[in-house]
């Protein structure tokens, strides 16, 4: 496992963005783990988060001129990632994001940031993909606003599980011609945390591992 991935996993638990216990997901499932990048709200944490996204972007080999962040969580992700790509790696990329509310004054644009057109190569950025609904909605939005080339989707963690229809959620997105990349996946999270202490705490002990295996028995992608 690359060092930035190990560092990112440890950052997730230290920031309490990745929690273990019992959580009801938007899909209605009860999961033993939950990821919320909204926990990265300090200058230090958001900088480290942006660095991990920037490294994963470079690692993917995808060439994009614009990083698009769907409202709302994608907005700070797009901004901080483009900022870190330039400050840390001297890679110049622009950002763009959408408004959820209809603007009724001035230029009534749906998008904020870099202008998009059919020649623009765009990478979508988000935290996780569960059912893929938000990504599909974003693809429709972009088609209606400049119709750029969407070259991929970058997420923080691949949960490696099925959607509510029993299909691989990431594969369903990729069937639309859009490759999905992640900073880490669940296997890497388990490898980094199972039986290991991080700041004096074991986040995945034997009991938690049993719960994760039970959950994955129902929803894991094979």
87 — pLDDT class (breaks 50, 70, 90): very high
Percent of the chain scored above 90 by pLDDT?
Answer: 73
pLDDT tens digits for range 160-215: 988 778 888 888 888 888 999 999 999 999 999 999 999 899 999 999 999 999 99
Q: What is the 3-state secondary structure (H, E, C) of the chain?
A: CCHHHHHHHHHHHHCCCEEEEEEECCCCCEEEEEECHHHCCCHHHHHHHHHHHHHHHHHHCCCCCEEEECCCCHHHHHHHHHHHHHHHHCCCCEEEEECCCCCCCCCCCCEEECCCCCCCEEEEECCCCCCCHHHHHHHHHHHHCCCCEEEEEEEEEECCEECCCCCEHHHHHHCCCCCEEEEEEHHHHHHHHECCEECCEECECHHHHHHHHHHHHHHECC
pLDDT tens digits for range 30-61: 999 999 998 999 999 999 999 999 999 999 99
Q: What is the mean pLDDT of residues 100-115?
A: 68
Domains identified in the chain and CATH numbers? 3-219 (3.40.50.2020)
């Amino acid at each position: 496992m690359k060092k930035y991935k190990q560092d990112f996993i440890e950052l997730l638990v230290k920031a309490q963005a990745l929690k273990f216990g019992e959580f009801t997901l938007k899909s209605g499932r009860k999961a033993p783990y939950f990821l919320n990048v909204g926990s990265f709200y300090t200058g230090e944490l958001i900088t480290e988060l942006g660095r991990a996204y920037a490294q994963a972007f470079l690692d993917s080999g995808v060439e994009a001129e614009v990083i698009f962040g769907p409202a709302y969580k994608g907005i700070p992700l797009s901004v901080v990632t483009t900022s870190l790509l330039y400050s840390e790696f001297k890679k110049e990329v622009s950002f763009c994001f959408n408004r959820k509310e209809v603007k009724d004054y001035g230029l009534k644009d749906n998008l904020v940031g870099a202008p998009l057109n059919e020649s623009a190569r765009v990478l979508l950025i988000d935290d996780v993909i569960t059912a893929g609904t938000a990504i599909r909605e974003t693809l429709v939005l972009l088609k209606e606003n400049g119709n750029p080339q969407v070259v991929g989707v970058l997420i923080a963690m691949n949960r490696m599980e099925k959607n509510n229809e029993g299909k691989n959620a990431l594969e369903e997105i990729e069937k639309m011609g859009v490759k999905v990349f992640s900073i880490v996946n669940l296997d890497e999270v388990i490898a980094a945390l199972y039986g290991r202490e991080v700041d004096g705490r074991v986040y995945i002990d034997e009991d938690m591992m049993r719960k994760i295996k039970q959950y994955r028995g129902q929803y894991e992608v094979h």
